[in-house]
A and B are shown apart, each in its own frame.
Chain A
Amino acid sequence: MTVTSETSARRFGYSEKVMDHFKNPRNIGVIEDADVTAKVGSVACGDLIKLYLKFDPDHDQIKDIRFESYGCAANIATSSMMTEMVKGKTIEDARKVTFKEIAEQLGGLPRIKLHCAVLSRQGLEAALVKYEAKKGRVKIDESFVNKILRGVLDPIEGVDIISAKIVESVAVGEGRRVFMELSAKAGSELAKSLTDDIHDAFEGLDIELNLKFKE
């Protein structure tokens, strides 16, 4: 029995560029002494990435960026492309990269996979804003919390939990204490998965999270 391997075919509606980054992802792995990490997406949703970033503090530059992926081919390819596009850039320039440009650089994405490019871009934003918070340049206020929550997905619908209106209110109290009310029922599979994902999203920020679910 001889079995064929294909090296460069256009498949599943994916461009050759997507297939290339899927098969040979760039910047894969972890940075052990990362300045900041950001985990966005959801296990339940089947779409999750974790980013590791190292900065050059003198020039506010992304010195190194790596990622891990639990997700489909588009998830892997968009994260790979995003890391290539922002590596070496200053924070200011990295912020100018849009999810559309990530998709364009990959030779386009099937319409139903565009959300993967959005997720990788949200991951970058979460990492940058977390870095700035750690540096004390950004205040930990409601707008900051909302930015981080944009990276957490509603596992059923696959959209972020702010857009999905799962987050009903956010408040920031004394001593880095964050309070939020969520529309999911306490004890449900959804509540469990949201609790994990929200804690992961704020990982490394030294914030006390208080989540309140519906009784």
Chain B
Amino acid sequence: MEPEPQTRELVYLDNAQTTRLDPAVLDVMKQFMMENYGVPGGEFGYRLEEDAREAIERAREVIARSINASPEEIIFTSGGTESNNIAIFGAANSSSYKGKRLVTSKIEHMSVLRIVDRLSRQGFQKTLLDVDRQGFVNAADLKAGLEDVRTVSVQHANQEMGTLQDLAAIGEICRSNDVLFHCDAVQSFAKEKIDVETAKVDLLSMSSHLIHGPKGVGALYVRDGVKLQSPLEGDDRERGLRPGTPNVAGIVGFAKAVELMTHEHALRMCGLRDELIESLLTISDSRLNGPTGERRLCNNVNISFRYVEGEAVLMHLDLRGLVVNTGSACYSQKLEPSHVIRALGGTLEESHGSIRLSLSKWTTKEELAYATETIKQVVGELRDLSPLGRKLPAQR
């Protein structure tokens, strides 16, 4: 049933979950853990403090430049979840804004959905925007419900299906209605082009570990003039929005990872993504979830296979050295089907058989050929066990 055990190597296609550190990133990080291990001090610092300050400010410039922002508009955080919390709580707690309604979409990351939900139990109103079958929010829905709104929070790329929202359209609506626009860009950052000026974004969440940077570091873009009241209390570091000792090595590594991600990487992943989609769809009773082409994140593939359950597929693949992810309820800690696939209006069965494969800048054609063959095999074997559609061959 399985190939003979060989030397240890994984085909890792879960890069939307996390990525492997780039060795060049590790190199620059080491220096700031072993030699320049200081943290920025006050107005005047001793040598180690000044080295750390310079390194962080250089990193801030790199992040700012990558989204067409100014360095003063970037604060470093511990990652996407913290950035989303500071942005949404920060705007809700701020005395500079009046609106009492928070708008977001049904397919956001849990950190966004849960903050909005908590605030809705503390005096705010909430609107959860529907999405269409491919995961897009409707601009007309957004326009229709902007009265008394404080923030609109819509992600750039979806974590499961790779749907890329039209940020410029959403930004334009928010700006012309004097509403703050927060965008969770954790999945797309440094992979897709983001320009906070043309997209009219006021707050943008970014993370390091999905682009071969270290885990535990991220950033929040806060447009000049936007006033947040941080949920955290402490010192005045990161303009008081994210107080506490900064993760210097992490921040330096984050910036290095951004510099190492190029437009060529994105183009290459796009090509591989489309080839993978095409080859997986040759498996019978399979369906692509999410959009195609330029409106899909460059490294995301999500396919539902009928008559099989995602956790069983994932485990058989893992045993054969292929790592993927699934929206199946059985694989989730709470046994709930993916809220994303459900929001698309799909059936429960579709969520159980959905498999997400996410590429990295290092993914090869050879790896994808192995992935396709292995998935074909496993889906076929599980369909043989299944009382549903068991008479169908795995291949067309």
Using a CB–CB distance below 8 Å, which chain A residues touch chain B? 1-7, 9, 11-12, 22-25, 28, 39, 43-50, 68-76, 112, 155-156, 158, 189, 193
Query: Among B87-95, B206-214, B228-236, B303-311, which stretch is in contact with chain A?
Result: B303-311
Q: Which residue of B lies closest to A79 (CB)?
A: B385
Using a CB–CB distance below 8 Å, which chain B residues touch chain A? 1-11, 307-312, 315-316, 318-322, 328-331, 333-335, 337, 347-349, 351-352, 364, 366-367, 370, 385-388, 390
Q: Which of A1, A6, A69, A72 interacts with B328 by CB under 8 Å?
A: A72
CB pair B315 A5 closer than 8 Å: no
Q: Which residue of A lies closest to B371 (CB)?
A: A3
Q: How far is the CB of B327 from chain A (nearest CB, A)?
A: 11
Q: How far is the CB of A81 from chain B (nearest CB, A)?
A: 15
Given contacts A4-B8, A28-B385, A46 and B348 within 8 Å (CB-CB): yes
For A189, list chain B residues within 8 Å (CB).
347-348
CB pair B9 A71 closer than 8 Å: no
CB pair B385 A25 closer than 8 Å: yes
Q: Which of A1, A11, A44, A74 interacts with B347 by CB under 8 Å?
A: A44
Q: Which of B3, B9, B348 interacts with A45 by CB under 8 Å?
A: B348
Nearest 9 A/B pairs, CB to CB: A46-B352, A72-B330, A3-B321, A44-B348, A68-B387, A72-B311, A50-B387, A2-B6, A4-B321
Query: What would 17 A/B residue contacts be, using CB atoms closer than 8 Å?
Result: A3-B9, A3-B322, A5-B2, A5-B4, A5-B321, A6-B321, A11-B315, A23-B316, A28-B385, A46-B328, A46-B329, A50-B387, A69-B387, A70-B387, A71-B309, A72-B311, A76-B312
Please measure, in the bound complex, the distance between the C-alpha atom of A112 and the C-alpha atom of B331, giving whole angstroms. 10
Please measure, in the bound complex, the distance between the C-alpha atom of A43 and the C-alpha atom of B337, giving whole angstroms. 13
Q: Which residue of B lies closest to A68 (CB)?
A: B387
CB pair B388 A4 closer than 8 Å: no
For A44, list chain B residues within 8 Å (CB).
347-349
CB pair B387 A112 closer than 8 Å: no
Given contacts A45-B348, A46-B352, A72 and B10 within 8 Å (CB-CB): no
Given contacts A72-B331, A73-B312, 17 further A-B contacts (CB under 8 A): A1-B364, A2-B7, A3-B9, A4-B10, A6-B318, A6-B321, A11-B315, A11-B319, A39-B387, A46-B351, A69-B386, A70-B388, A71-B312, A72-B330, A74-B330, A75-B312, A75-B330
Q: Which residue of A lies closest to B311 (CB)?
A: A72
Please measure, in the bound complex, the distance between the C-alpha atom of A89 and the C-alpha atom of B264, giving whole angstroms. 65
Given contacts A1-B370, A44-B347, A44-B348, A158 and B335 within 8 Å (CB-CB): yes
For B319, list chain A residues within 8 Å (CB).
5-6, 9, 11, 23
Given contacts A45-B348, A46-B329, A155-B348, A24 and B1 within 8 Å (CB-CB): yes
Please measure, in the bound complex, the distance between the C-alpha atom of A74 and the C-alpha atom of B330, giving whole angstroms. 9
Q: How many inter-chain contacts with C-beta < 8 Å in the A-B complex?
A: 119
Q: Which of A2, A44, A47, A71 has the most CB of B within 10 A?
A: A71
Please measure, in the bound complex, the distance between the C-alpha atom of A141 and the C-alpha atom of B217, giving whole angstroms. 64
For B3, list chain A residues within 8 Å (CB).
3, 5
CB pair A70 B370 closer than 8 Å: no
Q: How far is the CB of A65 from chain B (nearest CB, A)?
A: 15
CB pair A68 B320 closer than 8 Å: no
Q: Which residue of B lies closest to A7 (CB)?
A: B5
Q: How far is the CB of A155 from chain B (nearest CB, A)?
A: 6
Please measure, in the bound complex, the distance between the C-alpha atom of A7 and the C-alpha atom of B316, giving whole angstroms. 11
CB pair A1 B307 closer than 8 Å: no
Please measure, in the bound complex, the distance between the C-alpha atom of A43 and the C-alpha atom of B9, giving whole angstroms. 35
CB pair A43 B388 closer than 8 Å: yes
Q: How far is the CB of B161 from chain A (nearest CB, A)?
A: 19
Please measure, in the bound complex, the distance between the C-alpha atom of A158 and the C-alpha atom of B348, giving whole angstroms. 12
CB pair B385 A68 closer than 8 Å: yes
Please measure, in the bound complex, the distance between the C-alpha atom of A71 and the C-alpha atom of B311, giving whole angstroms. 8
CB pair B330 A47 closer than 8 Å: yes
For A2, list chain B residues within 8 Å (CB).
6-7, 9
CB pair B1 A4 closer than 8 Å: no
Please measure, in the bound complex, the distance between the C-alpha atom of A28 and the C-alpha atom of B61, giving whole angstroms. 61
